[in-house]
Amino acid sequence: MAEAGTVHHSKPITLLNPKPVEPVMTQLVAGLERIGLAMKSRTWRREGRSGLGPLQRQVLAVLQSQPKHVAQVSQIAEELAVRLPTASEAVATLERKRLVRRRRSKSDGRVVTVELSAKGLRAGSGNPQKPSALITATATLSPREQASMLTALIKLIKSLQDQGEISVVRMCVSCRYFRPNRYDDPAKPHHCDYVNAPLGDMTLRTNCPEYESAPKGQADAAWAAFSNSRIA
């Protein structure tokens, strides 16, 4: 029998094969993939009720982002990274639903433009009274976190473009009107020649209807200046 007051210490447990800590890059990719999967599943559920497939919804979104809500079928295919016949089929389905109108160019019969109808504009806009789940989630971030996340997303999109994984996106950083780090004000360091006004990281766009592609030399210089800048 042990004497009173004697304390017995158990031996520490040693893990023979401790699980290695995954790098933060792996965690970020896993998180992005999970968000993408959740949004895709939500889209399938929502479109099943509305009668619009995900590709049809994406076509409406492309048209909604265009000046005057008009685009060529070839442009739609390029932006969605799908083959021309696939885009044409989606457009034809939308036309039967009276969401878009197709017109052939009088000067070149091979050119077909697609225009949103009033019904298509309403269908593509969704319910303005009910913000999307991503908007609600993003609103929980602080303004500084939102600015940091936007800058990080722009860099991710640019890298994916360079790898050919996604089509050209109408982002400020590759636009001919964008002038990075023009001012000393950390809140609004950039400048947009189109509106002739300073821009902050919070106001940068990833899908601007006034976008015009910058020449390669200008785009490369602007990207180098932007990617090395400090987040306000």
Digits of tens for pLDDT over the chain (232 positions)? 445 555 555 555 555 555 665 688 888 888 888 887 777 666 555 555 557 787 888 899 889 888 788 888 888 888 887 888 999 999 999 999 999 998 887 777 777 789 999 888 887 665 544 567 888 888 898 988 988 888 888 888 888 888 877 776 788 999 999 999 999 998 899 999 999 999 988 889 888 878 888 998 999 999 998 887 654 4
Tell if the pTM clears 0.75, that is, is over it: no
Distance from C-alpha of 226 to C-alpha of 232, rounded to nearest angstrom: 12
Decide: 184 and 200 in contact? Cβ < 8 Å: no
In this structure, the chain runs to a length of: 232
State the pLDDT at residue 10: 56
Please give the structure tokens belonging to residue 177: 């009107």
Which residues, in sequence order, are bridge partners of residue 192? 178, 197
Cα 87 to Cα 22, 39, 82, 166: the distances in Å are: 40, 22, 7, 16
Cα of first residue to Cα of last residue in the chain, in angstroms, is: 69
**For residue 29, which of 160, 146, 141 has the smallest C-alpha distance?**
160
Distance CA 47, CA 125 (A): 13
CATH 3.40.50.720 describes domain 47-124? no
Q: Which residue in 154, 151, 215, 170 sits closest to 78, CA to CA?
A: 170
pLDDT of residue 231: 44
3-state secondary structure 118-137: HHHHHHHHCCCCCCCHHHHH
Return the domain boundaries, the chain: 47-124, 138-227
- H helix or E strand, kind and range, residue 73: helix 73-80
Rounded (to 5) percent helix, strand, coil in the chain: 50, 10, 40
